Structure 1
Amino acid sequence: MSSPLLPVLPPRLDLGMVAVASGVHPELVLRFVELGLVPTSRDGSGRLWFTPAAPELVRRIVRLHADLSLNYAAVALVIDLLARIDVLESRQWEIHSGKENRQWR
């Protein structure tokens, strides 16, 4: 007898959970959302939901702003550049480790 498959929801965090996990006030998290620095989704009732990576992203934004005195526009650029570096480094590792998936386009 087979059982019906239940939908699997991705793990998600609410505003309070992100604020506590990142060590900042919820209003600061909301400001980062309004500035487009932290992605969110909304459910049917309009409640904000965050990915599990959001607390680390919030901590990174706070560090860049405080330690390097960057404005939030510069913080967005730095975060984008760091993400691109991560992609390039993982690609380089694939190539040098011989695990490259050779797909010609």
Structure 2
Amino acid sequence: MRAERRSPTEGTGQAATRAAYPLVRIHRTGPSPYRLPLAEVAGRSGLPPELVGRFVALGLVDAERDARGRLWFRPSAPAALARVQRLRDGLCLNYAAVGVVLDLLDRIERLETALRRGERAAKEPTTWT
């Protein structure tokens, strides 16, 4: 969606120029973590690009679309794709079930990390000064 601005000379017989301005300006605070193009991720993972795009559509792998609609992936995407394939082949799960299993594994990992942090904090001596 672009807003068009008319030149004040438009309609007076003079050559008119039109400038297009974006409606929303997006400022990035840092470099994007999405640096790998679809072709490279597909090549590294050994999967067809169409299947990788399907995994993105199903929410099994994170990707970002640029202004032209191209997919960009994080450097960890080939490992995530391999994880999806291992779950699908090893446990004979459909893609919806793979998504549930991935969510549960991520939640378990976060809980274990929090538990380890809590155990470390409990072992540290507290000073009462």
TM normalised by structure 2 equals 0.66
More strand by share: 2
Structure 1 stretches of 4+ moved >2 Å? none
Which residue matches 2:101?
78
- Give runs of aligned pairs for residues 26-65 of structure 1, distance below 5 A: 26-65=49-88
1:24 paired with 2:47, answer yes
Task: Give me the CA root mean square deviation.
Answer: 1.9
In structure 2, C-alpha distance between the alignment counterparts of 1:86 and 1:93, rounded to whole Å: 11
| 1:98 alignment partner, SS class | helix
- Give runs of aligned pairs for residues 10-21 of structure 1, distance below 5 A: 10-11=32-33, 12-21=35-44
Identify unmatched segments of 5+ residues in structure 1: 1-6, 100-105
Identity of aligned residues (%): 51
Instruction: Please say which structure displays the higher CA radius of gyration.
Output: 2
| 1:49 alignment partner, SS class | strand
In structure 1, C-alpha distance between the alignment counterparts of 2:77 and 2:47, rounded to whole Å: 12
Report the count of equivalent residues. 94
Q: Which has the higher contact order (CA 8 A, sep 6+)?
A: 1
Identify unmatched segments of 5+ residues in structure 2: 1-28, 123-129
| CA apart distance, 1:10 | 2.5
TM normalised by structure 1 equals 0.80
